[in-house]
Chains A and B, each alone.
Chain A
C-alpha cells in the first residue's frame, strides 16, 4: 500500500513531466551547504529500489538476445585465439565491452603477450564514448550515494544507456532501473561467451538474424520518442551531419562521441532560460 506510488511511476510522472518546468533539476546553489550543493538530491525524488531494478531488468529483455549471440561470437573468437573458458568469460565479466574485448583478443592472438599497455590504450580509445554516457547520467544519478552509482556505471553499455535515458525522459527517476537493465544485459553476454567458446560454430551469424541492426533500430525508435518529447531539429541536424562526416574517417564509437558532443554543444548554445519545455 505504501509502495503504491512505485507501481507505475511512468504513468503519473509523465503527464506532470510534460507540463512542469522540471522543478527538481534546477539545482540552485544553496550557499549554506558549501561543497554539497552539486551532490545534494534537492527536491528530486531520486530513488534506488528493487522495483526500479525490476523495471529496468524487464525493459532490457529485448536487448538480451543480441547480447547472447554477440557473446557467442566473441566466445568463438576467443576459442580460436586459444583462450580458456575462464579467460574468455573473465573478459566478458570484467571488460564487458564487445569492441574492446575483440581488440584485446586480437592483440593476444597476434602474439602480443606483453602488450598490456597497448591493449589498455586501445580499450581507452574504443570506450571513450562511455565518458560522455557517464556525464549525461550525472543529473539523474548524481544525488545517489557512490556505493550505488559506481557499481551501476560498471554495467553501462550503449543499448542500456539509450534505454535508460529514454526511460528518464518519460519520467523514470529510479537509479535501480539502470542497474537492473545492465544486469539483464551482462548475464546473456557472459553466458553467450561460454556457449560460443564451448560449442563454437553452432551459433548463427548475428547479421543473419538482423541482430547487428538491433542497436540502430532501438536508437531510431527511441530517438523518435525522445524527439516527440523535446523536439529539436537543430540538435538532430548537427548530430547527423557530424556523425556522417566523422564516419568517413573514423567509423565506430567516434561517430557517437562526436555526434553526442556536437548535439550537446548546439543545445548549450541555443539554450534560452525562458524556453525550457
Chain B
C-alpha cells in the first residue's frame, strides 16, 4: 500500500515529463504571433491527426476494422451524430471479431 521511494522517483519523473509534453506546445505558441496563415495550419491539425489515427488502420486492412470504419461513416451520415457513429463502429468491430475471430 505504501509507495517505495525508488518508485516515487520514477513516478514523479515520468509525471513531470508527461506534463511538460502537454504544456510545452501551448507555452511555446505564446511567443509565436498567430497570423491567419498559422492559424489555418493549427486549425488543419485536428483533421490531419484524425486522419493520422485512421489511415494506418485502413492500410493494415483488417476486414473487421475496415467494415467497422464503413459503419462509422454510414451511421454518422445517417444520424448526423459522430458520437452515435463512433459507438456503432465500436459495436460493429466487437461483433465482427466475435464472428470471425
The answer to whether A235 and B44 have CB atoms under 8 Å apart is: yes
**Please, which residues of chain A bring their CB within 8 A of the CB of B89?**
213, 216-217, 220-221
Which residue in B22, B37, B46, B48 is a CB contact (below 8 Å) of A134? B22
Q: In the complex, how many angstroms separate the beta carbon of A235 from the nearest chain B beta carbon?
A: 5
B18 near A95 (CB under 8 angstroms)? yes
Size class of the B contact interface (CB-based, 8 Å): 35 or more
CA distance A232 to B11 in the complex (A): 42
B residues near A230, Cβ cutoff 8 Å: 43-44, 47
For residues 57 through 101 of chain B, which have their beta carbon under 8 Å from a beta carbon of chain A? 57, 59, 65, 68-69, 72-73, 75-77, 82-83, 85-87, 89-95, 97-98
Contacts of A149 in B (CB 8 A): 26
Closest 6 CB pairs of A and B: A263-B48, A259-B52, A134-B25, A94-B15, A210-B94, A267-B44
Q: Is the CB of A130 within 8 A of B52?
A: no
Whole-angstrom distance from the CB of B69 to the nearest CB of chain A? 6
> Is B56 in contact with A27, judged by CB distance below 8 angstroms?
no
**For residue B88, which residue of chain A has the nearest CB?**
A217
Complexed CA–CA distance, A119 and B18 (Å): 11
Interface residues of A (CB under 8 A from B): 25-27, 29, 37-39, 59, 62, 83-87, 90-91, 94-97, 100-101, 104, 107-108, 113-117, 119-120, 123-124, 127-139, 141-142, 149-150, 153-154, 156, 158, 161-162, 165-166, 169, 207-211, 213-227, 230, 232, 235-236, 238-240, 242-244, 247, 251, 255-256, 258-268, 271, 273, 276
Q: Is the CB of B3 within 8 A of A86?
A: yes
Judging by beta carbons under 8 Å apart, are B76 and A239 in contact? no
A-B contact count (CB 8 A): 328
CB closest chain-B residue, reference A214: B90
Min CB distance, B29 to chain A, in Å? 4
Determine whether the beta carbon of B39 is less than 8 Å from that of A244.
no
What distance in Å separates the Cβ of B25 from its nearest Cβ neighbour in chain A? 3
Majority-rule SS of B interface residues? helix
CB distance from A223 to the nearest CB of B (A): 4
Of B4, B22, B77, B90, which one neighbours A210 at CB under 8 angstroms? Answer: B90
- From A244, which residue of chain B is reached at the shortest CB distance? B59
A210 touches B93 (CB 8 A): yes
12 new A-B contacts at CB < 8 Å, known A134-B26, A239-B47, A243-B52: A135-B28, A138-B34, A153-B23, A165-B46, A220-B54, A220-B73, A235-B44, A235-B48, A240-B52, A244-B55, A260-B52, A263-B52
Q: Is the CB of A211 within 8 A of B90?
A: yes
| Distance (whole angstroms) from the CB of B4 to the closest CB of chain A | 7
